[in-house]
Amino acid sequence: MGCCFSLPRGPNSPYPGGAPPAQPPSADLSQSQSQSQSQSQLQPQPPSARPNAPDLDRAGSHQHRSRHRRRPLDQHINKPLRRSEWTSKNRIWSRTALDRERTDFFDTRVSGRPEIWQALNAALEVLWAADTARRDGPYDVPGDDNNAALALATAQTILDAADITLPTGNLADGAYDLLGNYYQLPTHIVSDPRNLASVDEEIDNHQLGEAKTAEDVTAGDEDDEEDDDGGEDEAEQRRFDKGKAVVNVSDQILVIIRLSNNARDLRLDIGKDESVRSITHRILEETNLHSGYRVRLVHMGKILKDKTSLTAQGWTGQVINAFVYEPPR
């Protein structure tokens, strides 16, 4: 809005000739714009301005395939269960040694969910029974577990019921639960080796492994076990195992034991030749745990033998891990 003299017409008009330029009607303006757009569309575009149609098709199909392959983050790869076959190269496994290793393995699991470990154990027991039946015959194997295919299907059903997924289908490669927790299973826990010893022969422990007798399998379960044939040396050994023997103070050494139930360190003075079984009895006494609990000592990732001393099994002063657990009744 200008001053009063700035009129569109008259001698004081700012436009030449005294009048503003004529504006075309809005209809004519829109018609001219549409004509210019249609003319620009009819004109050929230079090659650089035109899109490459094959490239667009290729990019679109690639994006479609990538979207098709992409798996939701909360969905795990799950392949059908298959049997694990392997050959032991480092040692010759006996049936008794394998059974004890498997019992100790599932008794000492402290990570993960207990119900998942129970489901894995139940599925493996079906497969173990089928392996035994296939090798030794139907003795002591219930029902249709003799059929390897049916045993595999039964184990798969147990895993599916517990929402357990297998990335490779082989339990020896580990398993996942519904929450994404990983459960690692050693090969000898999953299945028997091809070169399993047929009988528990008297071979060196380094070659055959531990637990050659039924007493070894249940070591630590019977605190007050007594041998009928006796003998002064055996009675002394039993007193030593129970922590009741007289120990020379000069032969004592200090061991630090880390408990799994409360993450506390227990300091014990033990004899150089004191057995692991005796140490586990003392742990139960020092921690005031009732007799229903069990203790397994682990050194450098290996479960220690009950009848052997710490020093004889390579211990040189490191902290010993003690898995304290209560067996299911």
Weakest-pLDDT range from 64-78, 126-140, 143-157, 159-173? 64-78
288 shares a domain with 186? no
Is 172 inside a domain boundary?
yes
CATH number at residue 253: 3.10.20.90
257 shares a domain with 204? no
Is 204 inside a domain boundary?
yes
115 shares a domain with 201? yes
Is 7 inside a domain boundary?
no
pLDDT higher than threshold 80 for residue 237: no
Is 327 inside a domain boundary?
yes
Which residue has better confidence, 290 or 165?
165
Measuring CA to CA, which residue among 96, 45, 92, 133 is closest to residue 216?
96
- pLDDT attached to residue 229: 42
Structure tokens at 46: 């230079």
Domain count, the chain: 2
169 shares a domain with 254? no
**Distance between CA atoms of 152 and 139, rounded to whole angstroms?**
19
Tell me which of 157, 182, 208 is where a domain ends: 208
310 shares a domain with 263? yes
Is 46 inside a domain boundary?
no
Per-residue pLDDT averaged across 127-148, rounded? 65
107 shares a domain with 194? yes
**Structural domain of 311:** 247-329
Is 8 inside a domain boundary?
no
Structure tokens at 61: 């199909």
What does the pLDDT look like over 55-91, one tens digit per residue? 545 555 555 554 545 555 456 688 999 988 889 888 8
What does the pLDDT look like over 22-37, one tens digit per residue? 555 554 545 555 555 5
Question: pTM for the complete prediction?
Answer: 0.43
284 shares a domain with 182? no
- pLDDT attached to residue 277: 92
**Burial status of residue 95 (CB atoms within 10 A of its CB: 0-12, 13-18, 19 or more):** middle
Tell me which of 208, 233, 256 is where a domain ends: 208
Measuring CA to CA, which residue among 220, 229, 189 is closest to residue 294?
220
What does the pLDDT look like over 287-320, one tens digit per residue? 888 777 888 888 876 788 889 999 999 898 888 8
277 shares a domain with 193? no
């360190």: which residue's tokens?
265
One-letter amino acid of 185: L
